[in-house]
């Protein structure tokens, strides 16, 4: 039985494909390459196409014996989603709805869905529990929360069992340094700091130093991309055992401020990275830290690369070897 990875050529998707291949799973990848990179794929049977295209979906499910789907295919820029909400609702909801229709028609019963901490919005409690209120403060988070609700109704009507995984801040790169993080344009903190270390940017701008945190900068829970991938495989295995649908956070349960991440990167790289204060970025919550107790208990998940230094070091190793990212 094969696992279909939608968006398998993207940052988290490509690490998922690597993890599945390492664990001996049969992998089918569907990616439209709007953001994905051919060089990020370590293997698997590839289909180039869009989830909103019924013809390619039918081909994928007819030509392969797929029992589980892992869905990463989505737009994921919080800022862009505020300016272009319809793009996010159309793509993020529309593609997964189409995928679910194909799964229903081809009797595929398991899906692991890539959700996000952005479903919570500004949290009332830290660490955040899955049972806490969900009140997204941007269309990206809203689109993911909407799909979570759609999944619930598809389970109810068609018996499609799901695991929705709400990631906190995905970071780091594969330990082999063969694959890593390459967004165009890059907006994520660690890759931008590393671009400063590589001399490609003059400085890192710190978006806000007047938050109610210890040093005034935003606090996030960074989780290694390979640890995220391992949680998805555990989720597939659990669904294959016939267990019920669930939603779980994935984070390390430890927060680091932007200033702490910059300082840790200086230590890892040995380079004095220049930083400058800038105004707050719209829509940034002050603190996001996960409780991942549920993932640990229910999935048996144990992050292998939990330390911030390891996360930064693996990212640094990839960036040094790929200063231009995946060259197109
Ligand atoms: N930051 C800076 N300077 C930069 C880039 C980022 O100070 O140049 C700060 C941000 O303001 C934020 C922190 O670094 O406080 C982390 O920012 P990222 O852009 O790396 O990540 P986010 O926390 O904004 O977003 C991540 C995922 C989203 C997801 C969100 C959940 O990238 O997909 O977590 O809240 F929606």
Quote the pLDDT of residue 49: 98
Atom of ligand 1 nearest to the CA of 258: 14
Quote the pLDDT of residue 282: 84
Of residues 11, 120, 140, 167, which has the active-site annotation?
140
Per-residue pLDDT tens digits for 83-110: 999 999 999 999 999 999 999 999 999 9
Is any ligand 1 atom within 6 A of the Cβ of residue 82? no
Across the beta sheet with 45-48, what order do the strands follow? Answer: 45-48, 26-31, 2-6, 66-71, 110-116, 161-167, 246-250
Atom 34 of ligand 1, residue of closest alpha carbon: 169
Atom 26 of ligand 1, residue of closest alpha carbon: 169
Question: CA–CA separation, 252 vs 254, rounded Å?
Answer: 5
Question: CA–CA separation, 38 vs 327, rounded Å?
Answer: 10
Atom of ligand 1 nearest to the CA of 219: 15
Atom 29 of ligand 1, residue of closest alpha carbon: 118
Question: CA–CA separation, 183 vs 326, rounded Å?
Answer: 10
Question: CA–CA separation, 93 vs 148, rounded Å?
Answer: 10
Can 305 be counted among the known catalytic residues?
Answer: no
Per-residue pLDDT tens digits for 253-306: 999 999 999 999 999 999 999 999 999 998 889 999 999 999 999 999 999 999
189 Cα to the center of ligand 1, angstroms:
6
Quote the pLDDT of residue 269: 98
What residue ranges of the chain have pLDDT lower than 50? none
With 0-12 / 13-18 / 19 or more C-beta atoms within 10 angstroms meaning exposed / middle / buried, residue 270 is: exposed
Global confidence as pTM: 0.97
Is any ligand 1 atom within 6 A of the Cβ of residue 291? no
């Amino acid at each position: 039985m094969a696992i279909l990875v939608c968006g398998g050529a993207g940052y988290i998707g490509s690490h998922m494909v690597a993890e599945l291949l390492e664990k001996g799973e049969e992998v089918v990848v569907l990616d439209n390459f709007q953001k994905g990179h051919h060089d990020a794929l370590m293997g698997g049977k590839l289909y180039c196409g869009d989830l909103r295209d019924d013809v390619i979906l039918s081909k994928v499910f007819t030509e392969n014996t797929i029992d589980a789907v892992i869905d990463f295919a989505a737009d994921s820029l919080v800022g862009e989603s505020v300016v272009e909400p319809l793009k996010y609702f159309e793509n993020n909801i529309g593609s997964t709805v189409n995928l679910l229709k194909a799964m229903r028609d081809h009797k595929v019963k398991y899906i692991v869905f890539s959700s996000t901490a952005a479903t919570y919005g500004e949290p009332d409690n830290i660490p955040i529990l899955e049972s806490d209120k969900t009140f997204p403060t941007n269309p990206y988070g809203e689109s993911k929360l909407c799909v979570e609700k759609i999944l619930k109704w598809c389970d109810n009507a068609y018996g499609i069992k799901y695991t929705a995984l709400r990631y906190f801040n995905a970071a780091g790169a594969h330990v082999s340094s063969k694959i890593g993080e390459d967004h165009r344009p890059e907006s994520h903190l660690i890759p931008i700091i590393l671009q400063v270390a590589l001399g490609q940017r003059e400085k890192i701008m710190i978006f806000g130093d007047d938050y109610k945190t210890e040093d005034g900068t935003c606090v996030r829970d960074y989780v290694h991309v390979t640890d995220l991938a391992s949680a998805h495989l555990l989720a597939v295995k659990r669904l294959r055992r016939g267990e019920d649908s669930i939603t779980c956070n994935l984070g390390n349960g430890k927060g680091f401020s932007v200033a702490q991440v910059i300082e840790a990167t200086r230590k890892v790289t040995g380079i004095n990275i220049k930083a400058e204060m800038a105004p707050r970025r719209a829509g940034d919550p002050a603190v996001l830290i996960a409780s991942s107790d549920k993932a640990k208990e229910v999935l048996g998940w144990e992050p292998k690369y939990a330390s911030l230094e390891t996360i930064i070091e693996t990212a640094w190793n990839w960036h040094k070897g790929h200063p231009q990212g995946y060259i197109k």
